[in-house]
């Protein structure tokens, strides 16, 4: 019986291989279709805009750069604070590459216990004041944007579910292509930061060789 079973299975191998390879080809084709670059801005990012701490309105899709990195910061977020030395280093480094722009962005709602009780204008204004204190306290050197709706940090439905998180975009059209969940690195030694493998990986992903 065993011999017969083995014989039958040997006879069916070419047929099974044919089906297997057809399925693999179909799967690869499907993946390529899903992963192909979109011709449209995705996930609502074309509507993202914020106000700088100097009061300038900046629309993300209007930023003149080939790549854009947005680091999402939150108050009372220890990993966000620990990441600041690396972000300051990256800010200096990426300025050497004009086609890459790095910003720190903030959802004003996370500054308040009951954000729904305030108007968008009130939240934007008060969050800017509070964020200026954060910048001074922690020595943040990145340009900061207080984001307007529809941007939102939301654990369930948001593009960003927590802080810190860093989003990498290609432009023309504006498309999210990578996100770093959690701090890029918490290395604080200025001599070690340039050699940190996570930092080096981020720079490569951001488009700096």
CATH of the domain at 180: 3.40.30.10
Query: Which residue range(s) make up the domain with 87?
Result: 49-206
pLDDT band at residue 37, thresholds of 50, 70 and 90? very low
| Per-residue model confidence (pLDDT) at position 184 | 97
Mean pLDDT score of the chain, rounded to an integer?
A: 85
Does residue 184 belong to any structural domain of this protein? yes
| Per-residue model confidence (pLDDT) at position 44 | 78
Does residue 154 belong to any structural domain of this protein? yes
Does residue 118 belong to any structural domain of this protein? yes
Does residue 97 belong to any structural domain of this protein? yes
Among 20-24, 150-154, 196-200, the range of highest mean pLDDT: 196-200
Entry pTM: 0.79
**What confidence tens digit (pLDDT) does each residue in 138-196 have?**
999 999 999 999 999 998 888 899 999 999 999 988 999 999 999 999 999 999 999 99
Does residue 38 belong to any structural domain of this protein? no
Does residue 115 belong to any structural domain of this protein? yes
Reported in sequence order, the residue ranges of the chain that DSSP labels E, i.e. its strands, are 49-52, 57-59, 67-73, 100-106, 144-147, 165-170, 175-181
Q: How far apart are CA 120 and CA 64, in angstroms?
A: 27
**What confidence tens digit (pLDDT) does each residue in 69-100 have?**
999 999 999 999 999 999 999 999 999 999 99
Does residue 144 belong to any structural domain of this protein? yes
Q: Contact 44/159 with Cβ under 8 angstroms?
A: yes
Does residue 128 belong to any structural domain of this protein? yes
Q: Which residues contact residue 109 at a Cβ distance below 8 angstroms, ignoring those fewer than 6 apart?
A: 115, 123, 152, 153
DSSP code for 176: E
pLDDT mean over 6-13? 38
Torsion of Cα atoms, 64 then 106 then 166 then 41, to 10°: -50
Number of structural domains the chain divides into = 1
């Amino acid at each position: 019986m065993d011999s017969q079973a083995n014989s039958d299975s040997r006879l069916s191998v070419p047929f099974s291989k044919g089906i297997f390879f057809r399925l693999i080809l179909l799967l690869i084709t499907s993946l390529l279709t899903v992963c192909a670059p979109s011709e449209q801005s995705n996930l609502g990012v074309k509507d993202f805009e914020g106000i700088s701490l100097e009061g300038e309105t900046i629309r993300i899709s209007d930023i003149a750069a080939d790549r854009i990195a947005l680091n999402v910061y939150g108050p009372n977020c220890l990993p966000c604070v620990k990441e600041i030395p690396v972000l300051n280093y990256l800010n200096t480094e990426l300025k050497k590459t004009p086609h890459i722009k790095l910003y720190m962005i903030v959802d004003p709602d996370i500054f308040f216990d009951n954000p729904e009780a305030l108007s968008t204008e009130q939240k934007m204004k008060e969050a800017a004041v509070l964020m200026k204190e954060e910048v001074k306290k922690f020595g943040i050197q990145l340009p900061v944007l207080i984001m307007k709706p529809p941007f939102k940090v939301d654990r369930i439905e948001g593009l960003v579910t927590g802080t810190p998180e860093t989003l990498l975009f290609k432009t023309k059209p504006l498309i999210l292509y990578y996100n770093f969940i959690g701090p890029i690195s918490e290395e604080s030694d200025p001599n070690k930061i340039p050699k940190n493998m996570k930092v080096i990986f981020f720079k490569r992903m951001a488009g700096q060789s």
